[in-house]
A and B are shown apart, each in its own frame.
Chain A
Amino acid sequence: MKIIACIKRVPTTDLEPKIVDGKSLDPTGVAFETSFYDQIAVEAALQVKEQHGGEVTVLTIGPKEAQKELRDALAKGADHAVLLKDDRWMSRDAHSTARTLQQKIQELGADLVLTGRVATDRDNASVGVMLATLLDFACVSDVVELEIDGRGGKARREADSGLESYSFSLPAVITCQKDLNEPRRAGLKGIMAAKKKPLDESDCPESSNQAEVCQLDTPPPRPQGRIVGEGAAAVEALIDALHNEAKVL
């Protein structure tokens, strides 16, 4: 089985963002990692490979430094890595990202494509489903349980109304939700082995955004908390404040 996991290099979530030129993130001093949900996609890919055999390729669009995130996936057990180099990867729109991934995936060939539910930097939750549409693959999003058999599989997804169960045919795109699995840790052996695994690097084909970010603002600062009193004596004031000021009761 040919399995592809798409991952994105994103700023770590503890980052306090600084904005430059009104619409981009200041990259100085920022630490990066594989987006949380994409780590789950990689783990799901490795588990499918362990059960059914095959090969796992990790694919990313990103700067040269994204080799680090790819090597991490290789260290965990992926077989190949593909880097489409684009220094402006963080300002791509979902459509141009999905389009570029689609072209590469068609070239590589895939039975199963796994992505995170959402990338933790832009929070769009669009690339995975757009990719399925462009590839004309079956798609189940926000998956919390996944089972693959020879030709297709079963998946459960979390919907607002409850848990939905699907059966789908391959090829498919699955976007992964957090409860799907617990990503493994790469060990020293894996890190050493990853050095010898193939990592193909090429320039990302030109593509233009259909939607551009024209302004970026940090969220308004949260107002300072206020201590209304101490011990039992404070209960009344607290209830009053929750009722009349915060209006949550």
Chain B
Amino acid sequence: MPPPDRRGGFVRSLFEGRIESEAVLPFPLPDAETLETIAAVEEMVREWADGAIDPAAIDRDKTFPPEVLEGLSELGLYGLTIPEAHGGAGMGAWSYAKVMETLAHRCASTATILGAHLGIGLKGLLLDGTPEQKERWLPRLASGELIAAFALTEAEAGSDAAALRTRAEALPDGSWKLNGTKIWITNGGIANCFTVFARTPDPERPDAPLLERPISAFFVEKDAGGITIGKPEDKMGLCGSSTTEVAFEDTIVASQAMLGERGQGFKLALRILNGGRHGLAACCVGQAKLSRSGAVVHARERVQYGRSIGEFGMVQEMLAAMDADIYAMEAGTWLTAAMMERGEHETMLEAACTKMYATEKLWSVANDALQVTGGTGFMREYPYERILRDARINMIFEGTNQVLRMMLGSQGLRALVRGEARPPDGEESLQGVHEAFAAEREVFDALVASFAERCRRTVERHGKEVREAQFALHRLSDMAMCLWQIAAVLSRVSAAETGGQASDRERDVARLSCRRLEREFRIALMDEERPLDEWVARVGGPTP
């Protein structure tokens, strides 16, 4: 993976009113050979998953069939993104997203197992592992002999993960002794290795209180001893994915188990999470498509008042919204993945926008699918209620959508707060949009200008304290997310136009998509211009 050359960043520059078109247009599609290979991989996964995975049984029995785990290993999927030199397939962010989408289209629990392994469980090794660490663990992780988990969260450290209390003490021989309890660890019950975050003593302040000590990361095999796995949590959704407590009691690991630099563990945790969010978004795409396809058939076949219900306007609205939102979800996910694969531009804020949008739209798509299917949708015999239950967690884990909005807003405004913003010289415009979408591009340009204006005023008003101004951060991050999504849709549809593949239907879907995003943007803008913050604070604030 080439290191990102931190040129501007598309979303970041929107906060200052600049439109860095070349980051997103033309759509940075991988080359034809890569696309062909990925298509073959997708087909392989789809064929296998459709035959081998029974998502309803997994959900009902709340256990995961060992044959499916073996299947993942036989296909080589545990090594998807591990370099070929270490026994994997060496594929990039785009393939990872495609595989996650395809698996989630069949079964969200299965996708979660693979995502926890590749996306977060072993990612630390890929990012910061030494050559020896990689050689030692990656081949076994690629074959599925080792299954990884990511152990950050603790009872007192959820969103505020930096408040973790697990401690690592240095022993005289250089090894480390771990003590602490992690909770809600995905793959907890099936993993045999963990990326663990713990506090290590600060050599300069050996007496610093626990919560002031730096955080380091360790790669720990389960047979290190002193590791207890809790019983599986009884959850609302993702019932086939194992979620457990993982407790460390005097677990001794060698000095070579430390990942990255001592004291840099928290930064590594954030880099891992930032690098995996597009995979979660891809899962949402898969599940949303599954909901949609069932709802479309139902709307065609269900007859009421002597007509198929799909002939009624209010049902059409729901179906059209699904198509438009899925189009944008895909556009954002693929664009983020493609940008990550190229590695030329920052993608942290883009991935955050994509995760927020995809997880929230999956929720509304799945909800509408259940509405279209009516009472049928409410029955467990059909997949709609399961999809809804499985979808809910996406807005909570890998950074809750509130925490991501906070991050997006405050990161985006940082240059303005520091007085380092580089506002544009003249009028900015998204370059490279196909002329068939000139009208949508003009809307985008105008929205960026009013967004930048609101950002400037917000910083004028709050200064450094803007980090605490959550009502404003919420609105601005909503606007930034909508702008990112519109840009992604315009980039995607422009590529289709240029390639001669755009159909009239695709044009309609893309227009609808832009329009819905514009509307969402304008709602946030209205609240920004006529804020109700005082009322909200009085009504929603802590009661004495």
- Chain A contact residues, CB within 8 Å of chain B: 67-68, 71-72, 75, 185-189, 191-192, 194-195
Instruction: List the A side residues contacting B39 at CB < 8 Å.
Output: 68
B79 CB within 8 Å of chain A: yes
Type the 1/0 row for B9-51, where 1 means its CB is closer than 8 Å to any CB of A.
0000000000000000000000001001101110010011000
| Contacts A187-B74, A188-B41, A188-B44; A195 near B80 (Cβ below 8 A) | no
A191 to B39, alpha carbons, bound, how many Å? Answer: 10
Give min CB distance, B280 to chain A, whole Å. Answer: 21
Give min CB distance, A110 to chain B, whole Å. Answer: 27
Given A185, A186, A187, A195, which contacts B33 in the complex, CB threshold below 8 Å? A195
- A187 near B40 with CB under 8 A, answer no
Type the 1/0 row for B56-87, where 1 means its CB is closer than 8 Å to any CB of A.
00000000000000000011110110001000
User: Smallest CB-CB separation from A75: which chain B residue?
Assistant: B40
User: Smallest CB-CB separation from A194: which chain B residue?
Assistant: B40
A192 to B87, alpha carbons, bound, how many Å? Answer: 12
- B44 near A68 with CB under 8 A, answer no
Instruction: List the A side residues contacting B75 at CB < 8 Å.
Output: 185, 187-188
Determine chain B's interface SS by DSSP, over half rule. Answer: helix
Give min CB distance, B103 to chain A, whole Å. Answer: 13
Q: Could you say which of B36, B40, B48, B84 has the most chain A C-beta atoms within 10 Å of its C-beta?
A: B40
B89 CB within 8 Å of chain A: yes
- A195 near B37 with CB under 8 A, answer yes
| Contacts A192-B84, A192-B89; A187 near B37 (Cβ below 8 A) | no
Give min CB distance, A242 to chain B, whole Å. Answer: 28
A71 to B76, alpha carbons, bound, how many Å? Answer: 17
Instruction: List the B side residues contacting A67 at CB < 8 Å.
Output: 36
- A185 near B40 with CB under 8 A, answer no
A–B complex contacts, Cβ < 8 Å, 12 sampled: A67-B36, A68-B39, A71-B36, A71-B40, A187-B74, A187-B75, A187-B76, A188-B76, A189-B76, A189-B89, A191-B41, A195-B37
A185 to B71, alpha carbons, bound, how many Å? Answer: 11
Instruction: List the B side residues contacting A191 at CB < 8 Å.
Output: 37, 40-41, 44, 89
User: Using a CB-CB cutoff of 8 Å, which residues 482-539 of chain B contact chain A?
Assistant: none
A194 to B33, alpha carbons, bound, how many Å? Answer: 12
Give min CB distance, A40 to chain B, whole Å. Answer: 16
Type the 1/0 row for B385-416, where 1 means its CB is closer than 8 Å to any CB of A.
00000000000000000000000000000000
A67 to B35, alpha carbons, bound, how many Å? Answer: 14
A68 to B36, alpha carbons, bound, how many Å? Answer: 8
A187 to B41, alpha carbons, bound, how many Å? Answer: 8
Our count of residue pairs bridging A and B at CB distance below 8 angstroms stands at 42
Give min CB distance, A225 to chain B, whole Å. Answer: 15
- B80 near A188 with CB under 8 A, answer yes
A195 to B77, alpha carbons, bound, how many Å? Answer: 17
User: Smallest CB-CB separation from B51: which chain A residue?
Assistant: A185
User: Smallest CB-CB separation from B95: which chain A residue?
Assistant: A188
A167 to B248, alpha carbons, bound, how many Å? Answer: 66
- The 10 A-B residue pairs whose C-beta atoms are closest, nearest first, are A188-B76, A187-B76, A188-B89, A187-B75, A189-B76, A191-B40, A192-B89, A186-B44, A191-B41, A188-B75
- A185 near B37 with CB under 8 A, answer no
Further contacts, 11 of them, CB under 8 A, given A68-B40, A187-B75? A185-B44, A186-B40, A187-B44, A188-B41, A189-B76, A189-B89, A191-B40, A191-B41, A191-B89, A192-B89, A194-B40
A102 to B449, alpha carbons, bound, how many Å? Answer: 68
Instruction: List the B side residues contacting A189 at CB < 8 Å.
Output: 76, 89
Give min CB distance, A183 to chain B, whole Å. Answer: 11
Given A72, A75, A185, A194, which contacts B48 in the complex, CB threshold below 8 Å? A185
- A192 near B37 with CB under 8 A, answer yes
Give min CB distance, B297 to chain A, whole Å. Answer: 14
A191 to B37, alpha carbons, bound, how many Å? Answer: 7
Type the 1/0 row for B276-293, where 1 means its CB is closer than 8 Å to any CB of A.
000000000000000000
A187 to B39, alpha carbons, bound, how many Å? Answer: 13
A187 to B43, alpha carbons, bound, how many Å? Answer: 11
User: Smallest CB-CB separation from A31: which chain B residue?
Assistant: B43
A203 to B89, alpha carbons, bound, how many Å? Answer: 33
Instruction: List the B side residues contacting A192 at CB < 8 Å.
Output: 37, 84, 89-90
Instruction: List the B side residues contacting A72 at CB < 8 Å.
Output: 40
Instruction: List the B side residues contacting A186 at CB < 8 Å.
Output: 40, 44
Instruction: List the A side residues contacting B74 at CB < 8 Å.
Output: 185, 187
Give min CB distance, B503 to chain A, whole Å. Answer: 10
A186 to B39, alpha carbons, bound, how many Å? Answer: 13
Instruction: List the B side residues contacting A187 at CB < 8 Å.
Output: 44, 74-76
A68 to B38, alpha carbons, bound, how many Å? Answer: 12
Give min CB distance, A60 to chain B, whole Å. Answer: 16
Instruction: List the B side residues contacting A68 at CB < 8 Å.
Output: 36, 39-40
- A188 near B36 with CB under 8 A, answer no
- A188 near B77 with CB under 8 A, answer yes
A185 to B90, alpha carbons, bound, how many Å? Answer: 20
Q: Could you say which of A67, A71, A191 has the most chain B C-beta atoms within 10 Å of its C-beta?
A: A191
A189 to B44, alpha carbons, bound, how many Å? Answer: 12
Give min CB distance, B152 to chain A, whole Å. Answer: 28
User: Smallest CB-CB separation from B45: which chain A residue?
Assistant: A188
Instruction: List the B side residues contacting A188 at CB < 8 Å.
Output: 41, 44, 75-77, 79-80, 89
Instruction: List the A side residues contacting B44 at CB < 8 Å.
Output: 75, 185-188, 191
User: Smallest CB-CB separation from B41: which chain A residue?
Assistant: A191
A189 to B75, alpha carbons, bound, how many Å? Answer: 8
User: Smallest CB-CB separation from B47: which chain A residue?
Assistant: A185
Give min CB distance, B319 to chain A, whole Å. Answer: 20
